[in-house]
Amino acid sequence: MENILEDVILGGGADEDIEFAIMNNILINRDEEGQGPPFELENLSDEEVVKNFRFQRGHLQRIKNVFLIPDEVVTEAGDRVNGLKALCIVLKRLAYPSRLIDLKTFFNMSAQSLSQVIRTTVDIMIAQKGDLLLDLNLLQWLDRQKLES
């Protein structure tokens, strides 16, 4: 895609040509969805769950409930994802430095869809509990001794 877009821009392509190159890439990447096995949390071992999401399997539903993530997350682009899967996408993205392209095969989704799901889910989490991040001194249960341990 980058080569095609670069060629269109450097070749003095019209705005419509650039727009076509971008839209073509989006459609091609979205077509990649569904070519691999679907993501199923149940198919992961307990060790794989901790490795990929940094939380135990039993804690994932509790985290979803605490952040009031709905059963279905709907992005501005119209992507619809199970709420627990959306949480897993965010947690995997945060668990280890990774690019969206690295998550494509794991979740069987396009990079664009993953980006939209991450943004939407994080927005939900911040709207529900973001105030906790404003001033850590307000968290009575979080003190220096607990941070050190």
Neighbours of 144 (CB within 10 A): 7
Asked if residue 60 and residue 8 are part of one domain, the reply reads no
Cα of 20 vs its chain's centroid, Å: 26
In a domain, 123, yes or no: yes
Asked if residue 87 and residue 48 are part of one domain, the reply reads yes
pLDDT above 90 for 83: yes
Q: Which SS3 state, helix, strand or coil, does residue 73 take?
A: strand
Asked if residue 46 and residue 19 are part of one domain, the reply reads no
Asked if residue 100 and residue 47 are part of one domain, the reply reads yes
In a domain, 140, yes or no: no
Q: Where are the alpha helices (DSSP H) in 32-110?
A: 46-53, 57-66, 83-95, 100-107
Asked if residue 23 and residue 84 are part of one domain, the reply reads no
Which of the listed ranges 14-28, 64-78, 96-110, 121-135 does the model predict with the highest average pLDDT? 64-78
Asked if residue 46 and residue 8 are part of one domain, the reply reads no
Q: What is the number of structural domains in the chain? A: 2
Which of the listed ranges 10-14, 31-35, 80-84, 137-141 does the model predict with the highest average pLDDT? 80-84
End-to-end CA distance of the chain: 48
- Residue 16 belongs to what domain range? 2-31
Environment class of 50 (CB within 10 Å of its CB; exposed 0-12, middle 13-18, buried 19+): middle
Pairwise CA distance, residues 29 & 110, whole Å: 6
Asked if residue 99 and residue 47 are part of one domain, the reply reads yes
Asked if residue 46 and residue 23 are part of one domain, the reply reads no
- Predicted pLDDT at 128: 93
- pLDDT tens-digit series, residues 24-81: 666 555 545 556 788 999 999 999 999 999 999 999 999 999 999 999 999 999 999 9
In a domain, 112, yes or no: yes
What mean pLDDT, rounded, does the chain reach? 85
- Predicted pLDDT at 31: 47
